[in-house]
Amino acid sequence: MKTIFAPAQPPTHRPAWLVVLSLLMLLHGGVWLVGALTNLRDPRLLATLSVGDTTETADELELHRKIVNVTQGILLGHHAEIRAVTLTAVVLALFMLYAVAAILSRDKHGRGLALSSAWLVLLYQLGSLPVFLRIARDHATQSAPLFAQLLSRGNEGADQAAVLRKLTSVIMVEPYLLSACGVGWALLLLAYFGGRRGRALYGIAASPPA
């Protein structure tokens, strides 16, 4: 027979794990929201991080300009995908912040909202990974050679081909690492809010099967 759980009740206290996870959700949702809104305004702003400083030589500055132009071209080439992923991130960030408000206010729906946030994060990570992999492949083939050339300057003994292979590996691995971190975060929420601690905090006791 199927086990029946009692409806959730408002928590009577806030244990340490609940406060810590709530603050992490607040930080995660806030950073995610700010970053997503920045990307919506102009995704090319991400490329400006590659600009060099005034102490570099003219050749190095020229390489930086090329890197920025190539990176901006890649981002514009994936504009529709980036916009779709970013809009999803905005909605998800707002939902997570709403869940945090419910949790901290001891609303009986806090646990359900936290679990929903975790599942949405999982879906987002799995759904957005192919997009970020396509962008990473473009970076590996277009901007990585320029970065390898820049890093090899001033070091005559440097093997530019080896530098390029390492850069390409880092670029292609990064989306998997970021996605794994997001999945791990979602699993952590599921473990606490969906597990014994979460059920006990929200007064959800298993009733014996009929």
Domain locations along the chain: 16-203
Q: Indicate the DSSP class of residue 194.
A: S
- Using DSSP bridges, classify how beta strands 206-207 and 4-5 pair: parallel, antiparallel or unpaired: antiparallel
Q: Kindly calculate the radius of gyration of the chain based on its CA atoms and give it in whole angstroms.
A: 23
Report how far residue 170's alpha carbon sits from residue 35's, in angstroms, rounded to the nearest whole number.
22
Q: Give 22's contacts (C-beta < 8 A, 6+ positions apart).
A: 100, 103, 104
Give backbone dihedrals phi and psi of 195, rounded to 5 degrees, phi first: -95, -160
* Residue owning tokens 């599942």: 119
Q: Are 40 and 90 in contact (CB under 8 A)?
A: yes
Name the strand (E) or helix (H) holding 3.
none
- pLDDT given at position 50: 45
At 117, list the tokens.
Answer: 């946030």
Q: Are 4 and 209 in contact (CB under 8 A)?
A: yes
Cβ count within 10 A of residue 15: 13
Report how far residue 70's alpha carbon sits from residue 160's, in angstroms, rounded to the nearest whole number.
19
- pLDDT given at position 156: 57
Can you give the pLDDT of all 210 residues of the chain as single tens digits?
454 556 778 888 899 999 999 999 999 999 999 988 887 776 655 555 444 444 567 777 777 788 888 888 888 888 889 889 999 999 999 999 999 999 999 999 999 999 999 999 999 999 999 999 999 998 888 888 877 777 766 565 556 777 788 888 888 999 999 999 999 999 999 999 999 899 889 988 654 454
Give the three-state DSSP class for 207: strand
Measured in whole angstroms, the distance separating CA 75 from the mean position of its chain's CA atoms is 17
User: Max alpha carbon distance in the chain (Å)?
Assistant: 80
Angle of the 160-193 helix axis to the 110-138 helix axis, nearest 10: 170
- pLDDT given at position 12: 87
Q: Compute the CA torsion angle 127, 128, 134, 137 (nearest 10 deg).
A: -120
